[in-house]
Amino acid sequence: MDRILIRGGARLSGAIHISGAKNAALPLMVASLLTDETLTLRNVPDLADIGQLSSILSVLGVAADFQRSETATHTMVLRAKEIASTTAPYDLVRRMRASFLVLGPLLARMGEARVSLPGGCAIGPRPVDLHLKGLEAMGATIALEDGYVVASAKGGLKGARFAFPFVSVGATENLMMAASLAKGTTILENAAREPEIAELGTLLNLMGGRVEGIGTSTLTITGAARLGGADFAVVADRIETGTFAMAVGATGGEVELLGARPDHLGAVIPVLEKTGLTIAATNQGMRVKRNGARPKPADITTEPYPGFPTDLQAQFMALMATADGTAQISETIFENRFMHVPELARMGANIEVNGQTAIVSGVERLKGAPVMATDLRASVSLVIAGLAAEGDTIVNRVYHLDRGFERLEKKLTACGADITRLKD
């Protein structure tokens, strides 16, 4: 298993190209199941999760061709001319929860689907009850058999009104795709408003669908008899952008984040400015700068978009670990998303957890240590801590990082960081 060695202390300076958003690209790829025509996605990040989803889609009959480029962005060409199987097997689904998104599109196109329940994951139990209730509201019959969700809708799915009891990104995406091929109109209330949802709505419209209310919490989707192909570029990753901004906050320095969309970080930028970062939109993205003093403390509570994203909570905690004061960090989305705390503590961080709140008392300097990555965002928080720390940090279980950060070491090295991948 690869590890990452970081010699801490270097300030970051230069420019970093922000990749396409993983969490936007995954549902867009799944949308290929809705048509027998070609879907071309540009600016797709080269990540383990993207490869994993391609494998699942190919079992279902999607021909997926990933065209990598050294100099430009990568392109994924997908075509589900015929659905070869309506079963998404356990072995593939358990590795990545996002693969559960195939349920709605398969059911809508084929009238049946058998998709393994994804099970729990490191950050919490993460049920899929809302996905299932929404599809039932649209006329699907759902049974659980041998760990599989077996869904059928013999005469096709029917438009329905469904109000989410709380916001779910994945369930909103699953139902949007299903509704696009259902008979009649579906109204989704209290829908997620993340930019990734807007991306999916925009793509469905390009494919000939009708999704109204994009960007609001009420989506009205008029089903089409068939959808066609499209050519679409994936938006820049707001989580990768926020992660590098926090890395600059932790080390000091000045970095331009090329392609970044500051408008997708409305709740994050003011918090980072409070910690002492200077952030400015540029023609090419945004510039992030911190000089001199230690970061100042700021409190956050994670919330669905447009609130502070749970996917940046661990990175922000690493930044606050060296703040000049005490910060309160509350996690409201996932039950078990503080697994980075004991690892940061191994580097000298002073963090006390009470239920879903962590009190971080900043220390002057973190110290390098061997640490273990536990999930994707937790692992990059350890990289941020390592960049700011005195001495060497070794991050084990780097495969978590590879799920969601493209060429992380290369991007950071180009800005002056001392970070290397150790191959075993």
- Residue with smaller CB distance to ligand EPZ, 74 or 131: 131
The first and second tokens of residue 48, run together, are: 């383990």
List 15, 59, 110, 121, catalytic entry? 121
Closer CB to ligand EPZ, 91 or 129, in the complex: 129
CB of 8 to ligand EPZ, least distance (A): 24
Rounded least distance, CB 332 to ligand EPZ, Å? 9
Least CB distance to ligand EPZ at residue 173 (A): 7
Name which of 52 and 322 has its Cβ closer to ligand EPZ: 52
Nearest position to ligand EPZ, beta carbon: 170
Name which of 224 and 380 has its Cβ closer to ligand EPZ: 380
Residue 22 C-beta: closest distance to ligand EPZ, Å: 6
Q: In whole angstroms, how close is the CB of 263 to ligand EPZ at the nearest point?
A: 18
Token duo for residue 322: 């060296």
Considering beta carbons, is residue 168 or 322 the nearer one to ligand EPZ? 168
Residue numbers at the binding site for ligand EPZ (CB under 6 A):
23, 26, 97-98, 124, 126-131, 168-171, 196, 310-311, 333-334, 376-377, 404
Q: For the CB of residue 128, give the shortest distance to ligand EPZ in the complex, in Å.
A: 5
Question: Catalytic annotation on 121?
Answer: yes
CB of 151 to ligand EPZ, least distance (A): 14
For ligand EPZ, give the closer residue by CB, 100 or 232: 100
Minimum distance, C-beta of residue 324 to ligand EPZ, in the bound complex (Å): 29
Instruction: From residue 213, give the alpha-carbon distance in Å to each of 190, 205, 267.
Output: 12, 12, 21
Closest CB to ligand EPZ among 191 and 415?
191
317: nearest Cα among 268, 223, 246? 246
The residue (of 167 and 323) whose beta carbon lies closer to ligand EPZ is 167
Do 382 and 366 meet the contact criterion of CB atoms below 8 Å apart?
A: no
Q: What is the 3-state secondary structure (H, E, C) of the chain?
A: CCEEEEECCCCEEEEEECCECHHHHHHHHHHHHHCCCEEEEEEECCCHHHHHHHHHHHHHCCEEEEECCCCCCEEEEEECCCCCCCEECHHHHCCCHHHHHHHHHHHHHHCEEEEECCCCECCECCCCHHHHHHHHHCCCEEEEECCEEEEECCCCCECCEEECCCCCHHHHHHHHHHHHCCECEEEEECCCCCHHHHHHHHHHHHCCCEEECCCCCEEEEECCCCCCCEEEECCECHHHHHHHHHHHHHHCEEEEEECCCHHHCCCCHHHHHHCCCEEEEECCEEEEEECCCCCCCCCEEECCCCCECHHHHHHHHHHHCCCCCEEEEECCCCCCCCCHHHHHHHCCCEEEEECCEEEEECCCCCECCEEECCCHHHHHHHHHHHHHCECEEEEECCHHHHCCCCCHHHHHHCCCCEEEEECC
Q: Is the Cα torsion angle 373, 375, 379, 381 positive or negative in sign? A: negative
Residue positions annotated with a catalytic role: 121
